Structure 1
Amino acid sequence: MKLNRILILIDDSPCAIRAAKYGYELARELQAKVALLSVVDAALAEGNVDAGIFPEQEAGKLKRAAEELLHNIRNDYGQSVETEIFVPEGNVKETILQMAKEWKAKLIVIGSHGRTGFSRLLMGSIAEEVIRHSPVPVFVVPVTIKL
């Protein structure tokens, strides 16, 4: 199997930035294409109707911020790597898995916060869910890795 399409999952956390750096290094070594993916969970977009700010507007702001983040990551780390950027709205886990299929990813790179115990129970683990249900191999970059 040729790992020529790497899907890198990004949010605004330090572990996602580490995953991006590592994913781009892999892409250069493997001469692979990269897709940067950040999913906007519109359910988390809170508005303030009394102030005239509606949830749809907040979701739009989240989407624009995610797009800017992905463009900055591509510019900072993606030199000489063909990169596509995706910022869909939806359920994070389901959207990641769907994008992996649609884009025909051969590998998913994701960062992990390394939470355990009660904090993991409360926050959930997107990385764990992706690993369990992914149609392709998943490379998890822990927050503690030295680059």
Structure 2
Amino acid sequence: MYGTILLATDGSDDAAAALDHALEIARSTGATLHAISVVETRTAYDNAIIDPEEVRENLRADAKSAVESAKSAAAEADVECHTTVAEGPPPERIIETIDEIGADAVIVGATGRSGFKRLVLGGTAEQLLESAPVPVIVIGGGLPRRRDDAEG
């Protein structure tokens, strides 16, 4: 069913939960995992107080860390993983990557690092659900945990 899975990650808690889910699916289906983190270039920090290039560099470092974490977790799970850091509007870059790699599904966290950014720009997960040409699996956002992960 799945030969290529695209994980969209920003290193948030929901993205970590999405990574766990992506690894479980990839391991059980023999799929290759591609992890992408997109640096949003339309930053809310374009003002005289904060240097926008410094903000972008920090965002690039966060994105690289997010995909490297995915690659490390995939190696531990014995799942083949490729990584990409892209720049631009996240939904657009993710959809371009779906086409480029021939992804069969996208797995994404329900919410990212910035609730404010989500309100201003529209949620990446929401936009993927509306526009992606493949199934989108959204993880987190208050969804119940799997029974074997729950306490008690």
Q: TM-score, normalised by structure 2?
A: 0.79
**Aligned-partner Cα distance in 2 for 1:65–1:129:** 22
Cα displacement (A) at 1:141: 1.4
Q: Which residue of 2 aligns with 1:136?
A: 134
Give 1:60's match in structure 2, choosing from 54, 57, 60. 57
1:106·1:137 contact (CA, 8 Å) conserved in 2?
A: yes
* Gap regions ≥5 residues in structure 1: 114-118
Partner SS, residue 11 of structure 1? coil
The answer to whether residue 74 in structure 2 is matched with residue 96 in structure 1 is no
Q: Select between 2-11 and 36-45 the one with higher mean Cα deviation.
A: 36-45
Letter in 2 for 1:133: S
Q: Which residue of 1 aligns with 2:149?
A: none
Q: Select between 67-76 and 11-20 the one with higher mean Cα deviation.
A: 67-76
Task: Give the superposed CA RMSD.
Answer: 2.5
2:91·2:124 contact (CA, 8 Å) conserved in 1?
A: yes
The answer to whether residue 78 in structure 2 is matched with residue 110 in structure 1 is no
**Aligned-partner Cα distance in 1 for 2:125–2:62:** 22
Q: Which residue of 1 aligns with 2:70?
A: 73
1:40-89: per-residue Cα shift (whole Å, max 9, x none)?
01221736767xx7433432331122112221232135421110111100
Judging changes above 3 Å, is the alpha-carbon distance between structure 1 residues 33 and 77 closer, same or farther for their aligned structure 2 residues?
closer
**Aligned-partner Cα distance in 1 for 2:14–2:86:** 21
The answer to whether residue 12 in structure 2 is matched with residue 13 in structure 1 is yes
**Aligned-partner Cα distance in 1 for 2:80–2:105:** 15
Partner SS, residue 101 of structure 1? helix
Question: In the comparison of the two structures, how many residue pairs are matched?
Answer: 139
* Gap regions ≥5 residues in structure 2: 147-152
1:7·1:108 contact (CA, 8 Å) conserved in 2?
A: yes
**Aligned-partner Cα distance in 2 for 1:98–1:19:** 20
Identity, % of aligned positions: 28
Partner SS, residue 88 of structure 1? strand
Aligned runs of 1:114-129 on 2, under 5 Å?
Answer: 122-123=119-120, 124-129=122-127
